[in-house]
Structures are given as C-alpha cells and as structure tokens.
C-alpha cells in the first residue's frame, strides 16, 4: 500500500516564494509508484490543502488530516518544503512531534538552534568546528558602532539572526556603512549577527542520512557576481555555481569531514546544506551556517549536487522519505 505524504510549503516570511518553487520541483519528482502526495500550503491566511485543480480546502489542525474525494486522508509522513518560519525553526516540527507524525527534516530542538545563526556557530565552535568571530545584537539593547568595532574588524557581514536566503544581509566595508546595515537587518528580525569577513573561497555541501549512513553530496563552489552570495546571487542567476567544485582532494576531504562533524554535533536529520569559507592562509574550512530545509527549486544547489552524484531526484527524494520511517 502506498504511503500518504504531505508536501508542506508556504510560510510566514519572505522566503515563502522559494518554498512554492521548491514544492513544485519535489512534486514533479516524487515516485508515485510508492507514494501518494498532497500539497499543504500553510500561510498567514490559514492551513490549506491544494488539490490538482487548484482548489483549496482547510486542513484539520487537530490531527493534520484533509478531505480528498470525500475521504479523510491521514498522512504517513511530511516532506518539508517550507523555508523560514514556521517550517524551518522548529515550530511545525514540535506540532508534528505531538501528533507522532514523522517528517523529513531536523527535529524541533535542532531546527530551533540552527535557525538561530548565533546559536548555531556557538554549538559548532563548542564541537571543535572553526567559525568566524562574531557579535550578537538584540533590538531591545542597542550597541554603539564604536563598541562593535572594538570587538570586530572590518569588513564584516551583518545579517538577521533568524532567517535565510540572505534576506536583510549586508557586507560592510566602512564604519559609515555599519549602522544602516544593522537597521536593515533589524527590519527582518529582532536579533542581528555581525561576523568578521573571512577571505577565501566559498563552498557549500549537501549532507543527508540514508540507511543510517551520513552521506555527503558533491561540493559546490559558489562564485558570486555580486559582492557576496546574496538573494540575487542565490535565486536570480547572479552567481556561478561549480558542481563538483574544482578543488584538490585534500581540501575536499577537509570540507566533507567538517560537514559530517557539523551534522553529528548539531544532531541533524534529513537533508541539510552547510556553507563554508575555505581560508587558504590557514588551510582550513570555516563553517558559516546550516540550512536545515535547503532550497529544492530548479535554481537551487541541492538538486545540482544530487545530479552530479549520479542520482535522479526521484531516487533522492525516495531515500529522504524512507529514512524518516
């Protein structure tokens, strides 16, 4: 009997537009011989089941069931396609845990920690993973530019502490740019992370678990046409992504080992994507952040890496779904 899978998309943040692109890619590559799938759109207007005719009906939030063709559908698992809150920060994971419903991403605790960039790097550093020097700001507790520059050296990156897709992020090269960049980031979140810039090459790598083995996908080098890998570079073609990356095996092994260690230290589950800067001066990778619900759109990196590994997306999504049972 085929498993009933909910593809959860939407969200309450600016990343929702990426979520809708991701769910299309996933839906087009689900193995329908093994799974029946249903698209669930959770957005500020409500929780909706979207049928193939474009009609929407409400999801029963008491037990996360839907009515399809006059029959009640109870799901066997959730494949998370929602980027940002509440699908990437632990909120929905906690809800599904209470229902005893398996899902394909990290659990509530790991999702909450990794969605908070400062907590992520703190846990990673505690586990022996190299990270950039940083400072954590709170909107209710202003810190002067002078105080920041006493602790950090320019250039720095200023980013919302919670969130993804580089929304609200800036690279700051001068003292005059710092305060406007902080204000921009605070428009997206009540917490801001400021990190020292690390000179080096940027790489990103997908990691997932299948049959209890942690598997790394081929490494991608990200070469941004903009000053850094921002929203335009990620989703509007303003970057060159080389998969597999043109690097020697020594560097590749360092990145793969650091990624596997981060996956274990942060108790990750399902598919994640981990970003690194390889600093050639020290010959070591510095972890930037972990994306626990990485993009699956046609422009996204994970589908590129899966294809470079020699898998089809159908094989990949099947492995990800089956691992959560």
Would the pLDDT of 243 be above 70?
Answer: yes
| DSSP state at residue 118 | H
Query: Domain segments of the chain: what residues?
Result: 3-105, 112-131+198-292, 134-196
Would the pLDDT of 66 be above 90?
Answer: yes
Q: What CATH topology corresponds to 112-131+198-292?
A: D-amino Acid Aminotransferase; Chain A, domain 1 (3.30.470)
**Residue carrying the six token digits 């990426």:** 18
Kindly give the pairing relationship between strand 3-10 and strand 35-43.
parallel
Which stretch of DSSP H or E encloses residue 9?
A: strand 3-10
How many helices (H) and strands (E) would you count in the chain?
10, 17
Q: What is the CATH number of domain 134-196?
A: 3.30.1490.20
How far is CA 184 from each of CA 121, 157, 230, rounded to the nearest angstrom? 22, 12, 14
| Residue 208 CB partners (closer than 8 Å, separation 6+) | 214, 215, 217, 270, 271, 272, 319, 320, 323
Taking a C-beta distance cutoff of 8 angstroms, is the pair 293, 221 a contact?
no
Share of the chain above pLDDT 70, in %: 95
| Residue 250: CA count within 13 A, CB half-sphere | 3
Which has the minimum average pLDDT: 47-51, 222-226, 265-269? Answer: 222-226
Would the pLDDT of 110 be above 70?
Answer: yes
Would the pLDDT of 71 be above 60?
Answer: yes
Taking a C-beta distance cutoff of 8 angstroms, is the pair 39, 9 a contact?
yes
Per-residue pLDDT, 227: 63
Q: DSSP string spanning 149-177?
A: HHH--SSEEEEESB--TTTT-EEE-SHHH
pTM above 0.75, yes or no: yes
Task: List the strands of the sheet with 46-50, edge to edge.
Answer: 56-58, 46-50, 35-43, 3-10, 77-80
Q: How far apart are CA 261 and CA 306, in angstroms?
A: 20
**Cβ burial 13-40 (10 Å sphere, 16+ → b, else e):** bbbbebbbbbbbbbbebbeeeebebbbb
Q: How far apart are CA 169 and CA 1, in angstroms?
A: 47
Per-residue pLDDT, 173: 94
Q: Which H, E and C letters describe 258-305, residue by residue?
A: HHHHHHHHCCCCCCEEEEEEEECCCCEEEEEEEECCCCCCCCCHHHHH
Q: In angstroms, how far apart are the furthest CA atoms of the chain?
A: 65
Tokens found for residue 220: 């991608």
Per-residue pLDDT, 162: 81
Q: Tell me, yes or no, if the two domains 3-105 and 112-131+198-292 fold the same way.
A: no
| Nearest residue to 85 via CA among 27, 21, 24, 164 | 164
**Residue carrying the six token digits 């003292």:** 175
Residue pLDDT, tens place only, 166-197:
678 999 999 999 999 999 999 988 999 999 99
Is the domain defined by 3-105 classed in CATH 3.40.50.20? Answer: yes
């Amino acid at each position: 009997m085929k498993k009933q899978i909910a593809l959860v998309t939407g969200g309450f943040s600016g990343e929702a537009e990426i979520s809708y692109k991701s769910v299309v890619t996933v839906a087009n590559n689900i193995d329908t011989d093994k799974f029946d799938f249903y698209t669930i759109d959770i957005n500020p207007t409500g929780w909706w089941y979207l049928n193939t005719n474009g009609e929407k009906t409400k999801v029963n939030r008491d037990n996360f069931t839907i009515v399809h063709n006059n029959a009640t559908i109870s799901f066997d698992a959730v494949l998370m396609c929602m980027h940002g809150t509440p699908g990437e920060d632990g909120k929905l994971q906690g809800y599904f845990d209470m229902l005893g419903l398996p899902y394909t991403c990290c659990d509530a605790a790991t999702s909450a920690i990794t969605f908070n960039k400062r907590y992520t790097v703190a846990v990673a550093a505690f586990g022996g993973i190299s990270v950039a020097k940083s400072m954590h700001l709170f909107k209710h507790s202003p810190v002067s530019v002078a105080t920041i520059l006493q602790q950090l050296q320019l250039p720095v990156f200023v980013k919302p502490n919670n969130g993804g897709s580089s929304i609200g992020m800036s690279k700051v090269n001068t003292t005059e740019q710092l305060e406007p960049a902080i204000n921009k980031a605070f428009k997206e979140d009540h917490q801001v992370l400021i990190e020292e810039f690390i000179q080096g090459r940027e790489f990103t790598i997908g990691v997932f678990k299948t049959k209890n083995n942690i598997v790394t996908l081929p490494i991608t080098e990200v070469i941004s046409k903009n000053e850094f890998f921002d929203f335009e570079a990620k989703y509007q073609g303003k970057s060159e992504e080389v998969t597999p990356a043109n690097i020697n095996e020594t560097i590749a092994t360092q990145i793969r080992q650091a990624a596997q260690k981060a996956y274990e230290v942060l108790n990750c589950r399902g598919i994640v994507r981990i970003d690194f800067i390889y600093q050639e001066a020290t010959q070591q990778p510095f972890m930037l952040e972990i994306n626990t619900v990485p993009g699956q759109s046609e422009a996204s990196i994970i589908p590129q890496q899966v294809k470079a590994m020699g898998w089809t997306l159908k094989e990949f999504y099947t492995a990800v779904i089956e691992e959560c049972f």
